[in-house]
Structures are given as C-alpha cells and as structure tokens.
Structure 1
Amino acid sequence: MQHENGVGAPAPTAWGLFLIFSRIGLTSFGGGLSGWLFREFVQDRHWMSEEEFLNGLSLSQALPGVNVKNMAIWIGYRLAGAPGAVAGFMGIIVPPAIFIVMLAAVFAAFTQYPLTNIALAGAAAAAIGLSASMAITAARRVPRRILPLAFLVTTFVTVGLLQWPLLWVVLVQAVLSVGIEYRRLMDKA
C-alpha cells in the first residue's frame, strides 16, 4: 500500500507508529523532539513532505497543550487515521512517562555526585541544538513574501527580545495572519 503523499513509501501501521513514537520519546531528552520527528518522518522514512511536516508543526504549536504530544497526534492521524493518532499519543506519552518515573528514582539516589549534573547539562545542550536546528529549518521555509517575514520578525522581537506573553502574541499574530491570508485568497477568486 502506498501512502497518499506519492513519495512511494509504504503506509505505516498504528502499531508501527506506536513503536516509532515510543523510541523517539524514550531516546530524546528535553526539547528538540520536533527535530527527531522531522528526521524520522520526513528525511528517513519519507512518509510526509517537509511542507506537510512544517504545517503540522505550526498547527501543533498553535494548539493548547504540549507541542510534541500535539505533533504526535497530528502525524499519527495524518499517516494512519484515528488509530494512528491514538498510537502517536500513546507512544510519545506512556513509555517515556514510565521511564521518567524510574529514572527520577535513580537520579534522586545520585544527586550528590557532580557527574549527575554534568550529564543533565549535556542532555540540555543537545536538546537546545535540536530545537535550533528545527527553528532554522522552519525559518528557511517561510515564503519570501513581506507579510510572512514580517510575522516571523515580529514574533521573534515581541517574544524573544521584549519578553511579551507568548499567548497574546500568538493570538494576535494568528488572527492577523489568517485574516490577511483569507483576504488575499478572496481577492484572487
């Protein structure tokens, strides 16, 4: 069976998605999970295009809740329907949650040793690198029109530099960008 994206890769099963999301959730630390998802589903398996992935990432970040959980549900649904969405959610949440509880008990026993803090700092640095990689990939794909670039710069300045509340910036930017794009499409029609 071929996936609808036309790339030619066989369509994944819900069980296969559960295993992939479990592996990603169990082997990724801190932020940067979107980088692992991008590599897995776009670059390695070719189950979706870069544009599809970035559209899903944008939607996942705009919705309430944990971005990576939203992304797992979206990818799962996109690739295998409702069973895929459930598999994505369960895979990215359940095995890592069990592992975290066990790991917390181990780390609690070793917090007195300096190597523990060094290991955590290393994991944090890797997560920051993956997040930066995804940000650069997404920024490179912004259409080279004035309005998308203006929204990109405005969001960076208001949230990153001015430290305005993310919720209000996203709400205002979302309403403005959707309204402008809707008007642009209506003018074309």
Structure 2
Amino acid sequence: MATDTAQPHPGLSEIFWAFSRIGMTSFGGGLSGWMMREFVHQRRWISEDEFLSGLALSQAFPGVNVVNLSIWIGYKLHGGRGVLAATFGIVMPAMIFAIILAAVFARVAQSENIHLALAGIAAAAIGLSLEMGLRAARRAVNGLLPFLVLAGTFTAIFILKFSLVWVVLCAAPCSIAIAYFQIKRHAQKSR
C-alpha cells in the first residue's frame, strides 16, 4: 500500500538509471503502471496523488504519454535537469535496444514462437494498463458528477465510437468545471 509521504529527492544519475531500468524492462506497453510502482510504491519519490495528477496531465498533452509523464516526474524531482535525466533515461537506452531488436527480429520474424511470446508480453501490458486505469478511476470518481463524466466518456469512446478528440474537447471542460467547484466548495467548508 502506498503512502502519500514522499522520500527525499534523488540525484540526477539516480533519476537517469531508474528511468533507464523502467524503459529497458517494460515490454509491450504498460509503462505508466511500472512507473507508478517504481516511483510511488517502491522508491516513494512522489506521492500517489502527485503521480496521478502527472498522469492526467501527460495524457492531456500531445506526444507520447510516458515521455510526457517522465518529463513531469523529472521536473517534480529535480527541475529542468531532472527533466533531461528522466527523458534521456526513459528514451535513449530503450531506443538503442529497440533498434538492435528490430534488426534481430527481421531475421527471425517467421518463427511462430516469437509471435506467441509477443502476444504474451502484450497481454501482460494490457493487464498493467487496466490496473492503472482502475486505480486512477477509483481516485478520480469522488462523487456523482465525476462518475457521470467517466461513464459518459467510456460510453462515447468504446460503445458509440466517437472520435477521441471530440470526446476530450467535451469532457475536459466538464471535468475541469467539476473539479473547480469541488475545490471551491471544500475551501468554503474549511473556513
């Protein structure tokens, strides 16, 4: 169980190597799940609330979500230099390894066992992503209105097959308004 108590911030080389390890050992996706386990639960460099806020931001910005999340975590941990350490750590070693693997895969692509192994890796990644999504949903749904936005978003994308862009353009302002009024109401109660 994670606590919301963060540990002292690591050095730049520690950030680089932690992100490198995640980038090199997380196959088939699900990186945000690995990142949460590593930085929130094991190392306790950031709290779960901070991580989920960063995850929401990283998914709202253009680009690769895990790179955006790495940038956010690196910045939280060590400012601009932390951004560079985290981003290079998550991207460079994995990119070099992927180039090497692509060359090797091109030579053995006809093997049925390779395709079975890749399907197994994909299944594990989907499981990690599902776990992360359920955890984030549990935290985000703190009332009827947030639940309705979540259910409406799910329905619009997965059942009605609406364009993700249009769903985000509609759901994001609703979510922001709901959060604003919840924060405002909470502040008034605290007085």
State whether TM-score is above 0.5.
yes
One-letter code aligned to 1:47: W
1:127 aligns with 125
1:140 aligns with 138
Structure 1 distance, partners of 2:61, 2:168, is 10
1:125 CA drift (Å): 0.7
1:166 aligns with 164
Aligned match of 2:176 in 168, 178, 188? 178
Structure 2 distance, partners of 1:7, 1:184, is 24
Q: Percent identity?
A: 51
Structure 2 distance, partners of 1:165, 1:140, is 25
1:108 aligns with 106
Contact kept, 8 Å, 1:69 with 1:89, in 2: the verdict is yes
1:9 CA drift (Å): 2.1
2:73 aligns with 75
Provide the aligned C-alpha RMSD in A. 1.8
2:8 aligns with 10
One-letter code aligned to 2:156: T
1:19 CA drift (Å): 0.6
1:129 CA drift (Å): 0.7
Moved over 6 A (4+): none
1:97 aligns with 95
Change (3 A) 1:142 1:119: same
Structure 2 distance, partners of 1:49, 1:172, is 29
One-letter code aligned to 1:123: I
1:150 CA drift (Å): 1.0
Structure 1 distance, partners of 2:183, 2:125, is 38
One-letter code aligned to 2:8: P
1:142 CA drift (Å): 2.0
Aligned match of 2:63 in 53, 62, 65? 65
1:55 aligns with 53
Contact kept, 8 Å, 1:14 with 1:76, in 2: the verdict is no
